[in-house]
Structure 1
Amino acid sequence: MASTPSAEDLASLPPEYLAVDTHLKLLHTSIAFIVLTTVIYILFNVSRIFCAQRNGWETWVLYPISYLFQLLLGILCILFVRYGGTGRHVEYWLLNNPNTVGNFLKIQTATEFIYVAGVTFPKVCILLMYLNIFVERKVRIATKIAIAVIVTNWIATGIIADFTICQPFAFKWDKSIPGGHCSNLMAAYRWISIPNILTDLAIIFLPFSTLYHLQTTRIRKIGILVTFLTGGLGIMTAILRFVGFFTVDLESDPTYLGVNTQIYTLVEPNAYFICSCLPGMRPLLRRVFGDSVLSNTINRYYHSITSDSKTTQQDLNGICLDVPRGSYKASVSAPRDTLSENIHDDDAALIRTNKSYHVAYSSA
């Protein structure tokens, strides 16, 4: 925090300035995302447990851990309001309860650890989904590199940097410790979003090469691309957080300016988590909507079989070939390294065969 104002400066502040309180914005956002994320996660589990034939280890390990971090972030934001004085100007607390500022800085320290982990785990889940789908060697290597970069960034910035940026560690919230010092905290808050944005771009562009070579209609390619792009929607919140931290000097009035910055810090990882759950909810959507028009639309866009098509073939992994009626030849092929047991039945949107087939369809 910036230098503490003198008693005379505090006494001269107008009552209207000290009465400002915006804590409800953060409180309502926290509750809304706790409810939304919980509902999405429940639907995801229903889809995976009751509607999907197979699930990878990430369903039982990474997704629960990821949800836990989102829940903790929501709870910390509520604690910001209840014990950290978020919403009021820092001068109000310096006049009425100086300990509140220390509570704010303690909760902020905990949030720094949870935020980076909350961003990391959903991204890893999305990229593991890619590995379950992609067969192209270069794309798989690039996906593994992206996972390594994300995990390394978490260890470097979310653990090592958070523990070492202030010496001693307690100086983060207790500025009275003799000889204590911190590096540029605002720079750390601002630039930590850059690795997130870069890895978001990787998540968005990794499927392009595979989709370009996929033998299917343009509309279906767009539908599959939309499925993959849901994993990259977090880039919008990452950019908002990056801009948000650059437009304020948080240290000048942390309890008041912290409302918006904490909202950014809450929304970004929750957006990643929700995006990571959406593709896994397709089996539930198919089960619920059955043969309805909405179901057929979902099936068409997510490359699933439609019940009224006589020219559709599907295997246990949800792979289908759908062609219009007529008389012509179609050739489809894909690289080797196919049909691994780890492939999810509802994630397989690509043709996985090492042979080439010539199929002729004739009118009824």
Structure 2
Amino acid sequence: MTSGGDPVLRRRRGSARVAVLFTVLVAGLVVASVASAAVGQFDIPVSQVVGSVLSRAGLDVLAAPGDPFAEAALWDVRFPRVVLALLVGGVLGICGALMQGCFGNPLAEPGVVGVSSGAAVGACLSIVFGWTFLGSFTTPALAFCTGLLTTLAVYVLARSKGRAGVVTMILTGVAVNAVAGAAISFLVFAGDQAAREQIVFWQLGSLAASRWVHVATIAPLVAVCVVVALLLARRLDLLALGDRQARHLGVDVEVLRLVTIVVVAIAVSAAVSYSGIIGFVGLVVPHLIRMITGPGHRVLIPASLLGGALLLVSADLLARNAFDYADLPIGMLTALVGGPFFFWLLLRTRRREGGWA
């Protein structure tokens, strides 16, 4: 037997590849997060950023910023934004992996089931009609509720004879997304100039308004999403064998899909309610991770968490510093990366499968 065909050697190589991947992702996250906190219109030395964090932890190893303005900029503006970028990016990465595993399609992403467009409808309603019954939380709360309700509506409409087929659910999601898009267009038409500008900015995605209270709101939902996703990992691996084979192995396919979709709906609705629509993270990250580690979800899910967080915090760093005194919409940057990647993925799928039929 050749060394390349030795299963033990292959497992060792696979384990080493996974270890290197996680090391790179964690190191990249630390570097990108510190850089994002340090770099801006008001630069703060990296040593002082690290010193400020260690000082809050009770370790006076490095000097914290002596300027109260720098300290306030770090803890009131930049750190909340960095942490929210990590949470939103991580949850989008995980949900992309869940959707691709649930539908058995590498082209699937959370927006397929209407969660992002549904959340946009709720946000637009709040903006156009000026609703403030929950104070500053009105727009995020409505975005969360409508995103969740839209996703559940897609699942209910796609069910037939007690089952929700993959193709039917995707097509239902396309139809619901179209209806949501029409509703958004009508609200843009009905709103005044200020509302239109706010809607456009929200749809492009931004983390500019990040605060610690936002982090505290979505962090528990992200934590639940991570735990449930890891618990579903083995059954998603079995689902990759096909619905019939998974049922023979004891997997309740309908319950698995329902739980997966509910988790994705809750997590993504919570994320986009504060960040606006940020596309392609859930498409690009899981597929890249899968190309490196293989399809096993017990590795894919935590790696997608780290990869999504790394991608979004890096994109936010670029969005804040690409132009002086301007904050680019982060959804625009992820689309600039994700669009060409999606096109390449389509071409690659067509070549491998010999056509679209």
Task: Return the TM-score normalized by structure 2.
Answer: 0.30
Q: Larger % of helix: which?
A: 2
**Higher Cα Rg, which structure:** 1
Instruction: Considering Cα pairs closer than 8 Å and 6+ residues apart, tell me whether 1 or 2 has the greater RCO.
Output: 2
Task: Return the TM-score normalized by structure 1.
Answer: 0.30
